[in-house]
Amino acid sequence: MAGAASAGGKSLDFSFAQQATVIVLCALTALISHMALAVFNDGVRPFMLDFIQGRSTRSATTAVSFGLSAGFIFGLGAPMALSTGVLNPWLLFLPTDVLGLLAPKKWLAPLLGGAWGALVIFGLGGANEVAHDLPVDFLTAMQQMATPILFLFTLFPVLAITRQFGKLRGGIAGVVELALVILTMKLWPDVFPGAAAMAVGVVMLIGFATAKDIRQRRADRAAAKAEAGIGSDSGSGSGAGSGAEGRQVSEAELEDPMQSLFSASATRLRRHLPLFMVLGAGVCLLAQMHVFGGGEATSFLIAKGDYSGAAQVDFYRVFGFIPLIATTALASGAYAIAGFTFVYPIGYLLPSPWLALLAGAAVFALEVLALSWIGRMLGRLPSVRDSSEHLRNAISESLWLAILFGSLLAANTMGGGLGILIVGGLYLLNEAMGRVVVRMAAAPAAVLVGGVLLNLLYGLDLFTPVKS
């Protein structure tokens, strides 16, 4: 699978249609963020309720958004875009979260968002050319991150199964995934070998969780029947009391403040359904243009032209984020800029931009209208909901290791032992200082800083670039 292992960076030269799409979409996402209708950062969304209800100021909410986003923008979004030549949501949508919330006037938000989109489009290409002309080409070296990210990411379902259902089932899932990777590499060398393995792993996880929920519901029904039988034997007086208690429970459920909040949030989002449909159309169109990847592994797959592999990777990721996005949206009244992210894989696979516009609008309409129903279903399937949490943690853990290992490979490529010392040392220093830069972004940021330092040392005649 040479393609995936050596995913080269694409050129950052965009067509006029691609430039216009990025600028308009950044303007739109900044406007939506200003209106507190949606943000990309999952960590910011829980804070939006206080802002919407007037208990928090715009400046305070902006500070929270910037604090939670800056590390990902400059430590992950920019390095990934420069090394792959593919745009990503951390570089486009996290800044528009901040700029939209920062803007004091509604008309200013889309101007700031559009300006950021233009800066990315026209500034990134220039930075890319300058970096490639340096004696130590650290951007090309960063392509070494591709192989660890693509292959280690494949294991996230195994980690999730192990954490939720124990060592035995986790071990079985690991053996199955390894066998599928080897089989795919042997029989279908042009196919991303992790695709089938991830699919089977996610299906196994959901199957285990669903089976557990079904067993629990059967046990609960059996217990309820047994209690009902005992109650009927105790006489009509007890039955009347039980009925009254049942009515009291129903009334309490109807008056549940969380249910009331969820209903109000869903209604608020539905009132702006046309705007969300435009947003969905724009995100899906950007994905269809193949200059955008929704994740770390996806960016490298898009860079090498494996759009079906990218679609599969982002489709499997969806299952780790549906419960988080749905519950935080219902609790806060603010949706996610990319929705449940179904528009990513759909966009990658569609042959026409017009189909992407229609599909994106339709998908977002369905998602917003189905939010309340999804919230109720998640309440009835606690194990499936827990699986989502385990999936998200497993994705973060596998990507953290892959990015760290890939960054050290990049450091070795550009500077040998000295490169590893600088990049690894910066990473360890960040850990010792309490993670000034978030862990996921610390290693790529260290590669960028290390590359600049190695070029300075070369200029001082203190370092000779490693021969490739």
Q: State residue 95's pLDDT score.
A: 96
Q: State residue 7's pLDDT score.
A: 44
Residue ranges, the chain, pLDDT below 50:
1-8, 237-255
Is residue 404, in this structure, part of any structural domain at all? Answer: yes
Q: Do residues 341 and 317 lie in contact, with contact meaning Cβ atoms separated by under 8 Å?
A: yes
As given in the structure block, the two tokens for residue 427 are 């990473």
CA-to-CA dists, residue 325 to 122, 153, 330, 385, 399, angstroms: 32, 21, 8, 12, 20
Q: CA 80 from chain center: how many Å?
A: 14
Is residue 339, in this structure, part of any structural domain at all? Answer: yes
335: which strand partners? 38
Tell whether the torsion through CA atoms of 424, 430, 431 and 433 is positive or negative.
Answer: positive
Neighbours of 400 (CB within 10 A): 16
Backbone angle region of 305, left / alpha / beta, with phi > 0 → left and psi within -120 to 50 → alpha: left
Is residue 301, in this structure, part of any structural domain at all? Answer: yes
Question: Which range of residues forms the domain containing residue 136?
Answer: 2-156+266-459
Is residue 91, in this structure, part of any structural domain at all? Answer: yes
Is residue 221, in this structure, part of any structural domain at all? Answer: no
127, burial (CB in 10 Å: exposed 0-12, middle 13-18, buried 19+): middle
pLDDT, tens digit, for every residue of 381-406?
888 888 888 988 999 999 999 999 99
pTM listed for this prediction: 0.84
Task: State the total domains in the chain.
Answer: 1
What letter represents residue 346's amino acid?
A: I
Is residue 73, in this structure, part of any structural domain at all? Answer: yes
Is residue 466, in this structure, part of any structural domain at all? Answer: no
Is residue 356, in this structure, part of any structural domain at all? Answer: yes
Per-residue burial over 14-53, b if 16 or more Cβ lie within 10 Å, else e, is beeebbebbbbbbbbbbbbbbebbbbbbeebbebbbebbe
Per DSSP, the three-state class of 414 is helix
